[in-house]
Chains A and B, each alone.
Chain A
Amino acid sequence: MRKAGWVVLAVALATFPLAGGEYYINLTSQIFIAAIFAASLNLLVGYGGLPSLGHASWLGLAAYISAWMSLKLGLGHWATAPAALLGTTLIACAFGWISLRATGLGFLMLTLALSQVLWGTAYRWVSVTDGDNGLRGLTRPAPFGIGLEDATSFYYFALAITVVAIWLMAVFVASPFGAALRGARDQSRRMSALGHDVWLIRWITFVYSAFWGAVSGLLFVYYNKYIHPASLSLTTSAEALLGVIAGGSGTLGGPIVGAAIVIFLKNYVSAYIERWNMLLGFVFVFIVIFMPEGVVPGVRRLLGQAMRARRRSR
């Protein structure tokens, strides 16, 4: 039953571009990017118990480094992509070291403050970032000589990266290290007493999570061929966090569903009302007050109750 579900999903994802129009193919590519982004944030929020409001830093930094290197240094994608990932991860090492001086709300405020500093810098450091104009005129890479300019080839490219990313994050969570991370979330003192270095566990998770955030940032800049300081803004971080919480934090599928919900809302509802930020705010308030566990665990709970009720009635 479970296996059959995976096969159906795989076939559906692989054949989707044959059936869907270009608009839907692009929409799904955006969902892939948002899914990696939300899933990487979920490593911190869900499995680590460390609520970050600065995840946009990693998406934005990787995108800006890659864009800046190709525009101002004229380097090809073979150089910009690894440099963007490496540069972002190194900065995450430093940010993690600072932010993890605190846990809980202090951690949240530090990540928020640090990412707002990057956001402000992106606006003001005009000689590097072109400020409010953003960096434009970018190209998509052509791995193995296959161009990604059309929607379908980009879809498969994004799909491949998403599968690898989600799989590697799942391996991370299922590993003994992932178990130690959950232990540090639930019982940090006991984990310390057992000889685990809780701080180090969290820091490694922070950096790993930022790395996948950077991967989604590269995909993001390839997709849009444009990067603007708004990608570093609190709204971007909040959208990802909403995806994690709406989908259900600390579950593997949750953030993917949540990211899809956010992208759908953003694309569909904003076609009818202009006020995306206000809608985002209301959805936030609604989810936190009425559905704090998220959509995936919530639906699973309801299904479980329904099944039990049916069994009982038999």
Chain B
Amino acid sequence: MIRNKTLIVFSFIFFTSTILEGSTIVIKNATIFDGIEDSSYLGHILIDDGFIKKVSKSSMVQGDRVIDVKGKIVTPGFIAPDTEIGIVEIGALSVTRDDESNIYDIGFSIHSAFNPNSTLIPWNRSNGITSAITLPRNTSSPIGGLGSFFLLDSKMNINSNADMVLIGRLGASGSSSRAENLSLMEDILSFGLSLNKKDIASDITIDEIIENSSIASYLDLKARDVKVLYRLFDEDLPLIIKSHRASDILNLISLKKKYDLNLVIMGAQEASLVIDDIAKNDVPLIINPINNIPNSFDELASNINLAQRLEKAGIAMMFNVSRDHNYHLIRQGAGVAVANGLSYGSAIKALTSNVAKVFNIENRGSIKVGNYADIVVWEDDPLEPSSIPERVFINGIETDLTTRSTRLRDRYTKDLNKPNTYRN
């Protein structure tokens, strides 16, 4: 079978690339969507010691290993900005979930729970996602929970950027008014803004600060929580607030202005109703471009053309998906957005450089000299979910594209004369 050959070729490449680590690779004759330019160009990429050393339109680039991709599309590795990769293995199985804390709210970090052996990593990587931001589940606090950035290279020595984003939410709760939610959010922010370096010098000073703050004592904040609130302002940490309703978005923009927040709004199904305010205040959005369902009374304006309208207004966007595990389907969402008017170049940026920019992920998200070589060679159009990567490089190293899923497939389509449990 043809598949057999491909597998052998793949494993061979993986093997050799491991040996040649540190030597140079040239990806030749690539149709490059670099994540910066709107359109593609034919070029050649030199990878040296994990980094992009040269991107050239002239074919004079030399390297130890030359891979002629014959005009295939090459993009930066896609970055999924909203995932549970590494902290949830099976959704409905609580013993495989590490996305919740019973003690911490604001300062809850999932970073140490990350499992580099999760099956979600090879699965999403083989579909073109080379890195991801993993977020905890919502906490009971309107602001609470830290997300981390992870490379999906399956290394036990985790390559990550820990606790680089704080999350929160604003909207219908079903039990109390969103006004309460917003007031609480503002009280927390105001407490955070009041903190100075001396306040967080030691656990003793933090305890004093908590005691002297009615909101901090009411919320029973811990030292971790307080430190994170200090970081929010001191480091201008990105703050992702999940919110949909147009009026909530406006309230969040007011908070952004008042507290000078590095605000990102996620969901934003009603963004089209307040699009000028979002644009004027430079609020990047994480949207699910395929979601046109008025799934709640906060999302009545859900419309399939949102991405196209954000592009016109000049708003930076990134994509997420509503279902778990298949985070690579942000590609399908991007394809649907393009079918409904978004430009192709903007779609690629939404999957790559926009995420890197908004979340300060340095030297990733675009194909340019000096960046890490997170690069995907696509068999066909990456926005067609029916097409998959042929090669995936992370930090300049070609990764294996085998997944548990392809193993199971092969087990039930090959060597059928053997009993199934005795097959590969």
Tell whether A pairs with B.
no
| A→B interface (CB under 8 Å) | none
| B→A interface (CB under 8 Å) | none
